[in-house]
Amino acid sequence: RLAHRSMVEADEGMLTAIMRNLLSNAIKFSWEGGKITIRSTEHKDHIQVEVADQGKGISRENQKKLFRVDESYTTSGTKKEKGTGLGLMLCKDFVEKHGGKIWVESEENKGSCFIFTLPLAQTNK
């Protein structure tokens, strides 16, 4: 089955870094045998991309710290993997440079869904 292809004007390296970081985190924080889902939805003027896992999840308190420069937050993965917390800051910076937004929806012990938007290319409207 052919999928509809949405067009965005984006730096390929930055977009690759965003996806690599979000997927890496989804793997790191998923339980063994867990499912990771990637989906995109086209809206009138933007595309929304979601990377969801069924892992550890993040408390509401810590969700508020994830994308902030003035708050340091990092936690170990399901197999005690270490992280710096800088990857999500980089994702935020790259998404915003393209005129998009990024956020998380998560529940502890049920998983996380990182969502970002990018404006559609002018030729795709």
Tens-digit pLDDT string for the chain (125 aa) = 445 577 888 889 999 999 999 999 999 988 888 899 999 999 999 999 999 999 989 889 888 888 876 665 566 555 666 665 678 999 999 999 999 999 999 999 999 999 999 999 876 44
Residue 17: its pLDDT value, please?
95
Residue 76: its pLDDT value, please?
59
Residue 125: its pLDDT value, please?
45
Beta carbons within 8 Å of 2's beta carbon, 6+ residues apart: none
Residue 101: its pLDDT value, please?
97
Residue 84: its pLDDT value, please?
58
pTM of the model: 0.85
Helix axes 86-97, 12-28, angle to 10 degrees: 150
Strand 111-119 and strand 36-42: pairing?
unpaired
Phi, then psi, of 16 in degrees rounded to 5:
-65, -40
Using DSSP's 3-state secondary structure scheme, residue 7 falls into coil
Question: Distance (Å, rounded) from C-alpha 17 to C-alpha 43?
Answer: 23
Question: Distance (Å, rounded) from C-alpha 11 to C-alpha 95?
Answer: 10
For residue 36 the two structure tokens come to 């990771």
